[in-house]
Amino acid sequence: MSAEKQKEKAEETIDIFAPIAHRLGIFRVKWELEDLSLKYLDPEGYKELVKKVDKKRTDRESIINDYINQIDNALSELGLDFEIYGRPKNFYSIYKKMKYQHKEFDEIYDLTAIRIVCSDVKDCYSALGAVHTLWKPIPGRFKDYIAMPKPNLYQSLHTTLMGNGEPFEIQIRTREMHEIAEYGIAAHWKYKEGSKRTNNDMELKIQWFRQMMEWQSDLKDPSEFMNSLKLDLFNTEVFVFTPNGQVVDLPVGSTPVDFAYKIHSEVGNKCIGSKVNGRIVPLNYQLQNGQRVEIMTAKNSPGPSRDWLKFVKSTQAKQRIKQWFKKERREENVEKGQEMIVAEIKRQNLPVKIVLNEEYLDAILRRLSLKSLDDMYNAIGYGGILTSQVVPKIREKFLKEQKDEHAKTKVDVDKFDDLPNKKKEIKKNDTGIIVKGIDDILVRFAKCCTPVPGDDIIGYVTRGRGVTIHRADCENFEHTDDSENRFIEVAWANSANTSYNANVQVVSLDRKGLLSELTMIMHDLDMLMTGINAKIDKNGIAIVNISIEISDIEELNKLMKKIKNLEDIIEVKRISS
């Protein structure tokens, strides 16, 4: 596997699979996945970190062993049944602290945590009291995950203490909690027989995974599913209570609507108001830790509001609201979705009648797994698909077709490369043209190709009208036996005071302000515009022909380059008059 592919897989593991292992409570697998990924994401950083950890760990072992001996003596005096040992921190968690908290390696003290495994919950709290008498706990660093388990049902007591001038962490848990923390769902099989609670715990733990599979089937766009997955994996939780005291975990920033859908879909769909700690609050109120939430419902509720999608935080709430609109309000969704996409297409200056039909959009519909235009309108109407996912694809297809169509009419021919280029005496004419061997002859510029200094040119002797100057690639005359004798060699004179007429055609999507921007460019370049003609074709394409006076081809090229940089330009080319 190439180094680039290895890095891509490592990023995918860090972003998706390690957090899934964390969510399922399989911490041993999570740590191993993170450390393996770091090895490929930052090989040099990984090697350096391993060396530093190995060097410092030996210095720390004697201190940790001293702490363990003191704890062992204290817990033995209490007659507790326990095991105690040091747990090394995984490399990736150290790496994250250094990178995201901007810490030096020497500033990280918890390379090793002490873990106490007791026989039951009562002994866990007895052990906690014992260690708090040995060392002072650091305020704000105690967490009781036994009383308030994490969403993945992880349970343990965490406390950070101040030892010999340095903080260190102690984790206290039962043997069952320890097995489940290490091996997640797999550990439930060891304890499930005869334990109804553990079976319920396992059901809660895999419920999240089932929800994710449901969301995958609901969401048409894979990128939207991945964004929802990452949002649900990485959101920090807030813990609130139901009226009967049950703990509910939600993403930070969640509202009573998120809470209602977490309880049940029907509670969310029938929600008409909410109370927090007995006080009525708006539905977009952001919930805080420890609050008691009550949802008010009504049987005749009209259902959720589309505005709820603007403030709900949880993926579950968003999907349930979208599902309701998808099933209950199809006609309304189709109408609203059509209005939304037509407005966006008009904003992008695209022809609605041409681009909004099933034949034209067949490939785009198939890519979005939709069968018809109405399905697309419905999906946009209930929020399953955004107009920003569809209209850019339509615009890209339309612009490509227009460029291809205009490319067919573009002619780029160099007919006269084989003309002789002999250095002979040539004389200058006051029109800015030098005609070989002839002075004071009538010279005029052909209106069919309007040559300007810098163009390859050819003179054509016209009976009674002097010499007509054409561009060498002009199509208005052919090589015949008679015409070959009437060509004459001409050249541009170095004349700074002579101006020449040129014509440029601009092809663009029609939009407001286009002509204003074109004239502003010519004003900025100090060019004289001698004429302008604009029209809109049946496809809504603006075709603008501009006549200008220039001094040479460089000036013309500069103008065309600036026009090409404008928004919605399809083509800029020089044309005959």
- pLDDT tens per residue, range 460-500: 887 767 788 888 877 776 555 556 667 777 877 765 556 77
pLDDT of 228 higher than 70: no
Cβ distance 276 to 292 under 8 Å?
yes
Could you tell me which of 319, 325, 337 has the C-alpha nearest to residue 389? 337
DSSP codes, 519-574: HHHHHHTT-EEEEEEEEE-TTSEEEEEEEEEESSHHHHHHHHHHHHTSTTEEEEEE
pLDDT at 419: 40
Four-CA torsion 240, 241, 246, 251, nearest 10 degrees = -20
Q: Can you name the CATH fold of 3-192? A: Beta Polymerase; domain 2 (3.30.460)
**Overall average pLDDT of the 499-521 stretch:** 84
Could you identify the residue written with the tokens 């070989």? 436
Beta bridge partners of 507: 543, 571
pLDDT at 66: 87
Q: In angstroms, what CA-CA distances link 365 with 277, 356, 371, 389, 557?
A: 48, 11, 7, 11, 41
Contact between residue 397 and residue 357 where contact means Cβ atoms under 8 Å apart: no
pLDDT at 521: 87
DSSP one-letter code for 263: H
The CATH architecture that domain 235-327 belongs to is Roll (3.10)
Angle in degrees, CA 48, 52, 56, rounded to 5: 175
Tell which CATH classification among 3.30.70.580, 3.40.50.11540, 3.30.1330.40, 3.30.70.260 matches the domain 500-575.
3.30.70.260
Pairing mode of beta strands 167-174, 157-162: antiparallel
Judged on CB neighbours under 10 Å (0-12, 13-18, 19+), 452 is buried
Query: Helix-strand-coil percent breakdown of the chain, rounded to 5?
Result: 45, 20, 30
Check pLDDT > 90 for residue 127: yes
Q: Are 281 and 274 in contact (CB under 8 A)?
A: yes
21 has a pLDDT exceeding 80 = no
Closest CA to 542 of 565, 515, 561, 504: 515
What backbone torsions phi and psi does residue 245 show, to the nearest 5 degrees?
A: 90, 5
- Reported for 154-159, long-range contacts at CB under 8 A and 24+ positions apart, including other chains, are 154/25, 154/27, 154/180, 154/181, 155/180, 155/181, 156/181, 157/124, 157/125, 157/128, 159/128, 159/131, 159/132
- Name residue 425's amino acid: E
Question: Tokens representing 310?
Answer: 């603007």
CA end-to-end span of the chain, whole Å? 60
- Are 437 and 426 in contact, with CB atoms under 8 Å apart? yes
Residue 395: φ, ψ to 5°: -60, -45
Q: Label residue 186 by pLDDT band (50, 70, 90).
A: very low
Task: Summarize pLDDT for 229-243 with one digit per residue, the tens.
Answer: 444 444 457 778 888
Sorting pLDDT into bands at 50, 70 and 90, what band is 192?
A: very low
pLDDT tens column, 232-274: 444 457 778 888 888 788 888 899 999 999 999 899 999 999 9
Of the ranges 109-118, 127-136, 158-167, 233-242, the best mean pLDDT one: 127-136
- The arithmetic mean of pLDDT across residues 291-298, rounded, is 91
pLDDT band per the 50, 70, 90 thresholds, residue 125? very high
pTM (two decimals): 0.40
User: Where residue 55 falls among pLDDT bands split at 50, 70, 90?
Assistant: low
Provide mean pLDDT across the span 389-412. 74
Backbone angles phi, psi at 136, to 5 degrees: -80, 130
Task: Reply yes or no on whether the pLDDT at 389 is more than 80.
Answer: yes
Whether residue 143 has pLDDT greater than 50: yes
Instruction: Decide if pLDDT at 321 tops 80.
Output: yes
What pLDDT shows up at residue 109? 60
Lowest mean pLDDT among 193-202, 390-399, 473-482: 193-202
In this structure, are residues 447 and 434 in contact, taking their beta carbons and an 8 Å threshold? Answer: no
Q: How confident is the model at residue 171 (pLDDT cuts 50, 70, 90)?
A: very high
Which range, 44-53, 87-96, 123-132, 356-365, has the best average confidence (pLDDT)? 123-132
Cα–Cα distance, 68 to 77 (Å, whole number): 14
